[in-house]
């Protein structure tokens, strides 16, 4: 974070994060879980290659020939199928879960990037320029915050032609509905910074809005941005899972936790492990981002960071 | 033509909806105690409505509508016996000019539930009423066949339909535009139920129809229940297809399929005398497998609708018959069976013909012999010969969300991938799917998964709706956009044949002739499973159709 913001001895964000991770064991556990899941997502192909499976091949020989449920106890968990297999298809559940992590992280992180980009730009413009622009942005944000976005997404998913790549559509739509909460926080922060001495000084020295934004505001905004974006990732992963659950997410056969959970509901009485593994993965991912986000907020909360 | 095509599509939708209404005696289960007269039978139905308006109904002759309305003819429906047309209100019809004019004689002493006699004029009125735009939507096989039907708009505008004559109270005569051997089957469809002459103009006729069957509609509340009580005017001696055993039949509407399954598994209270009208899903069947009491009460049909993969013959690269032939070998029917119902025995036999089991004239053959799991190498070789040594990429695979379509389609997608055929599944909701798959003459998709249950047990109803060029677009079910002038001519010839055995031979020849072109890949003859309570007796599913015979179901005392 250079140039480091002027005045009042604020610790750099990075130092604050490191000290928080040393002190807050939950946040540390969250950070480690995220790192682990990220490694799993990146190395999904390698991991499934080690297991000797892939998430697409049907292995009907792993199913009970009488019912189509996995053969063997615990949903068919074995040396060949570490998490067992999917009922009716025999596809490897471990492969589905680790490749599903890739889908969830890709959509979750990319949608958050879209939200952050839109939210920071619009929030900073509204806060810094004020007046009609501020009113327009705040009003739009309020409308969007109250918008039944899940219903809208369901409708949109049904209307958008098949040629539009589904992952891109999901990223753009989920990301778009995420910007208002970020814009609000950035705007509030910008309002307090706008009249601070160093910003006035830069302005009186002839700096344009662009320069002020990049060199004076942004370095002081990173803290809150990191906090809100981390806290919004689990919601976005959850939204992707919800849309996939409803059959509107990433099209099959690309693995997705939401779709796996949706399929598993019907099987919960006969093959609970089919629900447990993708469910646990979704739980771990959302839990990890939430506790890390909480820890980060303690360290970088916008209401305390600047005053500290 | 449009009206008829729409009618066919609705018929299909009707058949699908019906699938939610029946239970049957399981072939492998214990024989239930015999049914006695009396009691209240409950039918747990997923749909919010049951339409008792004969003009608007797509109901098969042996399910819900048959309890209230009789038609001119009925179906002989017994396990292990072929479906044949039998007398109902009338005899099975006579023709003296090779199938162009048909005469039916009504039985004596038939009465509506209010005691007024049922006459030929009432049947004629019912048929005419089905042409009124306000009452369209039912099975419409008759609409283009009756003389003057093409531009007739119903009796409420004052005009009579030229093609139907009622010279006296017991005689009804139909004049067709061309010879049609299956006409006695067509008059078993709902539109040939009597409606008292001059009545039935109100849009809610479905809620208080004049009954000719063993029951009358006593109470109808959309989304809650339809309650049928005995029709005092119905005489058992005039009716050979309806047993009329329970005192009341109650359709409980808007029931969730999985809740129905749980209730019937638990088998307590009123649910003992209930059956589920929906198919039992694969997951539910797996659950029932561990419950000996409930397992006995699963009723599975021997056969059923043809599930098939339709190939768009009007669009490159599938306009090349050699490429389509490769699909016949690429598909893994075993994994499709498992994806459908968990096990081959529950899903139904693998299909190799267009004509379904239990239909007169059906010949079993296999033009593309391959192991049930497919022969990807042979498929690759055929693709290479057709000029695609690297397989096919990016095929658009349109799938309806209903009936576990996406899960079944994925199994096909995976099996095609083994042969180097890469496809992208595109799922749509039921209505959007119907619109895109059958609405327009030209289709965007390359592949689509479909299923066809004939509306009456004749090979005609297997083949004509799926492969006649007149059924392309406008709601017709020729999803493959298959267009072959010779096939059209042969269909016309077979339809004009009155003798069922001779017609059967012609249809069997057509079956081979069409499959040689591979417009579709037959997958399985889908078995349907239903679940019944422990007091429900005499529920059976014959070879055709794959639904329980509601007319014979009773309760043990």
| Domains of chain B, residue spans | 7-18+26-230+529-555, 306-525
CB contact under 8 A, A252 and B285: no
> For chain B, which residues lie within 8 Å of any Cβ of chain A, measuring from their own Cβ?
258, 281-287, 289-290, 332, 334-335, 338-339, 341-343, 345, 396, 401, 406-407, 409-411, 413-415, 417, 424-429, 432
Contact list, B281 vs chain A (CB under 8 Å):
266
Q: Does A57 contact B414 at a Cβ distance shorter than 8 Å?
A: yes
At residue B474, the pLDDT reads 77
- In terms of DSSP bridges, do strands B447-452 and B520-525 run parallel, antiparallel, or are they unpaired? unpaired
Residues ≥6 apart with Cβ < 8 Å to A135: none
Per-residue tokens: A58: 């049907």
Dump pLDDT digits (tens) for A87-109: 888 899 999 999 999 998 999 99
Q: Which of B281, B287, B425 sits opposite A252 (nearest CB)?
A: B425
Both ends of chain B: CA-CA distance in Å? 51
Confidence of residue A12 (pLDDT cuts 50, 70, 90): low
pLDDT-based confidence at residue B22 (cuts at 50, 70, 90): very low
Q: Calculate how close chain A gets to B402, using CA atoms only, in Å.
A: 11
Tell me how many helices (H) and strands (E) chain A has. Answer: 15, 0
Token pair recorded at residue B556: 């043990």
Q: Where are the beta strands (DSSP E) in B329-420?
A: 392-400
Is the pLDDT at A85 greater than 70? The verdict is yes
Angle at B67 between CA B65 and CA B68, to 5 degrees: 75
pLDDT at residue B19 above 70?
no
Mean pLDDT of chain B: 87
Structure tokens at A25: 């064991």
pLDDT at A283 over 90: yes
Say whether pLDDT at A305 is over 60: no
Contact B410 A63 (CB under 8 A): no
% residues pLDDT > 70 (chain B):
94
Question: Contact, B230 vs B22, CB < 8 A?
Answer: no
- The rounded distance, in Å, linking the Cα atoms of B447 and B425 is 9
Backbone phi, then psi, for B500, in 5-degree steps? -60, -35
Residues from chain B that touch A64, judged by Cβ atoms under 8 A, are: 286
Facing A60 at nearest CB: one of B282, B334, B396: B334
Partner-chain contact B282 A66, CB within 8 Å? no
- What percent of chain B lies above the pLDDT cut of 90? 59
Contact: A252, B411; criterion CB under 8 Å: no
At B284, is the pLDDT very low, low, confident or very high (cuts 50, 70, 90)? Answer: confident
Q: Tell me the C-alpha distance between B44 and A252, whole Å.
A: 32
Report the mean per-residue pLDDT for chain A. 84
Report the pLDDT value the prediction gives residue B232, as an integer from 0 to 100: 94
- Give mean pLDDT, residues A284-305: 80
pLDDT band at A6 (very low <50, low <70, confident <90, very high): very low
**Among candidates B286, B409, B427 on the partner chain, residue whose Cβ is nearest the Cβ of A87:** B286
Q: Is residue B550 exposed (0-12), middle (13-18) or buried (19+ Cβ within 10 Å)?
A: buried
B230 vs A9 pLDDT, higher one: B230
* Cβ-based neighbours of B267, under 8 Å, separated by 6 or more: B293, B294, B297, B533, B534
User: Is the pLDDT assigned to residue B28 strictly greater than 70?
Assistant: no
What contacts B151, CB < 8 A, 6 or more positions away?
none
What's the rounded Cα separation, in Å, for the pair A229 and A297?
A: 11
Which position has the higher pLDDT, A21 or B110? B110
Least confident of A196-200, B126-130, B158-162, B408-412: A196-200
Band of the pLDDT at B27, cuts 50, 70, 90?
very low
Mean pLDDT over B467-483 rounds to: 89
pLDDT higher than threshold 80 for residue B5:
no
Burial of B156 (0-12, 13-18, 19+ CB in 10 A): middle
Per-residue pLDDT, B12: 39
pLDDT of B33: 59
SS3 state at B453: coil
Q: Where are the alpha helices (DSSP H) in B130-186?
A: 183-186
pLDDT surpasses 80 at B6:
no
User: How long a stretch of residues is chain B?
Assistant: 557
Residues of B in contact with A90 (CB under 8 A): 338
User: Across residues B40-49, what is the average pLDDT?
Assistant: 90
CB contacts of A88 in chain B (<8 Å) are: 282, 338-339, 342, 407
A158 and B289 within 8 Å at the Cβ level: the answer is no
| CA within 13 Å, CB half, B260 | 29
Above 90 in pLDDT, residue B509?
A: yes
DSSP structural state of residue B255: -
pLDDT computed for residue B23 by the predictor:
37
Q: If pLDDT is split at 50, 70 and 90, which confidence band does B7 have?
A: very low
Across residues B392-405, what is the average pLDDT?
87
CATH number of B306-525: 3.10.105.10
Mean pLDDT along residues B340-368: 88
The span from the CA of A178 to the CA of B390, in Å, is 43
- Token output for B546: 């794959």
Residue A116, pLDDT score: 93
Contact A4, A223 (CB under 8 A): no
* Interface membership of A65 toward B (CB under 8 Å): yes
Instruction: Let me know the angle formed at the C-alpha of A89 by A85 and A91, rounded to the nearest 5 degrees.
Output: 45
Task: Indicate yes or no: CB of A63 within 8 angstroms of CB of B338.
Answer: yes
Residue B310: pLDDT band (50, 70, 90) is: very high
pLDDT at A250: 84
CA distance B551 to B75: 11
Rg (CA), chain B: 23
Identify the pLDDT of residue B259.
87
Q: Which band of pLDDT confidence, cut at 50, 70 and 90, is reported for residue A298?
A: confident
Q: Do A267 and B283 touch (CB under 8 A)?
A: yes
- Six-digit token pair at B429? 């909701």
Q: Which residues of B touch A269 (CB under 8 A)?
A: 287
**What band does A245 get if pLDDT is binned at 50, 70 and 90?**
confident
Q: pLDDT for B519-544, tens place per residue?
A: 999 999 999 899 999 999 999 998 88
DSSP H helices in B230-343: 257-266, 282-288, 292-296, 321-330, 333-341
- Residue range B144-195, pLDDT digits in tens: 899 998 889 999 988 999 999 999 999 999 999 999 999 999 999 999 999 9
pLDDT range class, residue A11, cuts 50, 70, 90: low
- Interface check A246 vs B, CB under 8 A: no
Asked if B427 lies within 8 A of A251 by C-beta distance, the reply is yes
* Ranges B21-25, B248-252, B273-277, B537-541: which has the least confidence: B21-25
A89 contact B CB<8A: yes
pLDDT in tens, B54-82: 998 888 889 999 999 999 999 998 888 88
Read off the pLDDT of each residue in B221-229 and give the average, rounded to a whole number.
92
How many interface pairs between A and B have CB atoms less than 8 angstroms apart? 85
- Span B7-18+26-230+529-555: which CATH code? 3.40.190.10
Determine contact, residues A92/A53, Cβ cutoff 8 Å: yes
Which residues are B310's β-sheet partners?
Answer: B448, B520
Which residues 6+ apart lie within 8 Å of A76 measured at CB? A62, A63, A70, A84, A85
Q: What is the ipTM of this complex?
A: 0.74
Q: What pLDDT does residue B352 have?
A: 93
Confidence of residue B17 (pLDDT cuts 50, 70, 90): very low
pLDDT at B126 over 90: yes
Q: How confident is the model at residue B291 (pLDDT cuts 50, 70, 90)?
A: confident
Cα B178 from Cα A246, distance rounded (Å): 49
User: Taking 70 as the threshold, does the pLDDT of residue B11 lie above it?
Assistant: no
């Amino acid at each position: 974070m250079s140039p480091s913001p002027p005045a009042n001895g604020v610790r750099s964000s990075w130092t604050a994060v490191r000290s928080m991770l040393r002190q807050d064991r939950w946040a540390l556990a969250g950070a480690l879980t995220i790192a682990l899941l990220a490694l799993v997502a990146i190395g999904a192909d390698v991991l499934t290659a080690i297991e000797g499976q892939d998430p697409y091949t049907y292995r009907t020989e792993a199913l009970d020939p009488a019912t189509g449920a996995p053969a063997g106890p615990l949903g068919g968990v074995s040396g060949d199928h570490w998490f067992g297999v999917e009922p009716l298809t025999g596809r490897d559940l471990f492969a589905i879960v680790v490749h599903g992590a890739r889908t969830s992280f890709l959509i979750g992180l990319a949608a958050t990037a879209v939200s952050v980009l839109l939210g920071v730009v619009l929030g900073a413009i509204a806060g810094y320029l004020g007046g009609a622009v501020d009113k327009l942005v705040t009003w739009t944000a309020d409308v969007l915050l109250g918008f039944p976005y899940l219903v809208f997404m369901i409708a949109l998913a049904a209307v958008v032609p098949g040629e539009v790549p589904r992952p891109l559509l999901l990223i753009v739509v989920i990301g778009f509905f995420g910007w208002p909460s970020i814009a609000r926080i950035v705007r509030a922060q910008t309002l307090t910074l706008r009249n601070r001495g160093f910003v006035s000084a830069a302005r009186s020295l002839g700096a344009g809005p662009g320069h002020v934004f990049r060199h004076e505001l942004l370095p002081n905004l990173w803290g809150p941005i990191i906090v809100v974006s981390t806290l919004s990732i689990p919601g976005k992963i959850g939204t992707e899972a919800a849309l996939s659950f409803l059959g509107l997410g990433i099209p099959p056969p690309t693995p997705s936790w939401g779709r796996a959970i949706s399929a598993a509901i019907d099987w919960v009485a006969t093959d609970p492990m089919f629900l447990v593994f993708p469910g646990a993965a979704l739980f771990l991912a959302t839990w990890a981002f939430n506790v890390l986000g909480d820890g980060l907020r303690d360290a970088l909360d916008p209401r305390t960071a600047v005053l500290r | 033509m449009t009206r008829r095509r729409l009618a066919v599509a609705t018929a299909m939708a009707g058949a699908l909806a019906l699938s939610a209404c029946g239970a049957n005696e399981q072939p492998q289960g214990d024989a239930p105690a015999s049914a006695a007269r009396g009691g209240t039978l409950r039918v747990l139905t997923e749909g919010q409505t049951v339409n008792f308006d004969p003009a608007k109904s797509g109901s098969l002759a042996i399910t819900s509508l048959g309890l209230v309305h009789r038609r001119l003819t009925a179906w002989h429906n017994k396990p292990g016996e072929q479906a044949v047309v039998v007398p109902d209100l009338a005899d099975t019809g006579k023709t003296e000019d090779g199938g162009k004019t048909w005469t039916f004689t009504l039985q004596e002493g038939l009465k509506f539930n209010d005691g007024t006699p049922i006459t030929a004029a009432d049947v004629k009125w019912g048929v005419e009423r089905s042409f009124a735009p306000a009452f369209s939507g039912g099975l419409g096989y008759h609409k283009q066949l009756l003389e003057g039907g093409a531009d007739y708009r119903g009796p409420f505008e004052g005009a009579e339909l030229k093609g139907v004559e009622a010279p006296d109270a017991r005689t009804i005569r139909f004049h067709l535009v061309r010879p049609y051997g299956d006409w006695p089957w067509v008059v078993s469809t709902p539109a040939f139920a009597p409606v008292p002459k001059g009545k039935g103009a109100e849009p809610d006729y479905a809620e208080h129809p004049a009954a000719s069957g063993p029951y009358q509609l006593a109470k109808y509340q959309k989304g809650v229940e339809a309650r049928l009580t005995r029709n005092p005017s119905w005489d058992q001696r005039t009716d050979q297809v309806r047993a009329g055993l329970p005192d009341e039949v109650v359709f409980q509407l808007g029931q969730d399929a999985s809740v129905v399954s749980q209730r019937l598994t638990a088998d307590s209270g009123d649910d003992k005398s209930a059956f589920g009208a929906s198919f039992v899903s694969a997951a539910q069947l797996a659950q029932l497998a561990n419950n000996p009491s409930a397992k006995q009460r699963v009723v599975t049909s021997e056969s059923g609708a043809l599930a098939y993969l339709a190939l768009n013959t009007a669009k490159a690269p599938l306009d090349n018959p050699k490429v389509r032939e490769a699909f016949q070998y690429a598909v893994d029917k075993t994994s499709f069976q498992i994806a459908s119902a968990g096990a081959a025995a529950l899903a139904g036999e693998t299909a190799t013909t267009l004509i379904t089991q239990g239909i007169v004239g059906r010949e079993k053959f296999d033009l593309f012999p391959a192991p049930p799991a497919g022969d990807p190498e042979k498929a690759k070789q055929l693709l290479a010969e057709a000029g695609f040594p690297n397989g096919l990429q990016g095929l658009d695979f349109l799938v309806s969300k209903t009936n576990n379509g996406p899960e079944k389609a994925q199994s096909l997608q995976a099996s095609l991938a083994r042969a180097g055929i890469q496809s992208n599944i595109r799922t749509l909701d039921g209505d959007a799917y119907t619109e895109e798959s059958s609405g327009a003459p030209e289709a965007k998709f390359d592949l689509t998964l479909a299923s066809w249950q004939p509306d009456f047990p004749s090979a005609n109803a297997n083949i004509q709706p799926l492969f006649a060029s007149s059924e392309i677009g406008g709601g017709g079910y020729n999803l493959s956009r298959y267009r072959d002038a010779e096939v059209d001519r042969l269909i016309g010839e077979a339809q004009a044949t009155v003798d069922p055995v001779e017609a059967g031979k012609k249809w069997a020849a057509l079956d081979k002739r069409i499959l040689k072109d591979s417009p579709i890949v037959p997958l399985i003859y889908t078995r349907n499973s239903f679940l019944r309570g422990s007091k429900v007796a005499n529920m059976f599913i014959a070879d055709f159709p794959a639904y329980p015979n509601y007319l014979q179901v009773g309760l043990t005392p």
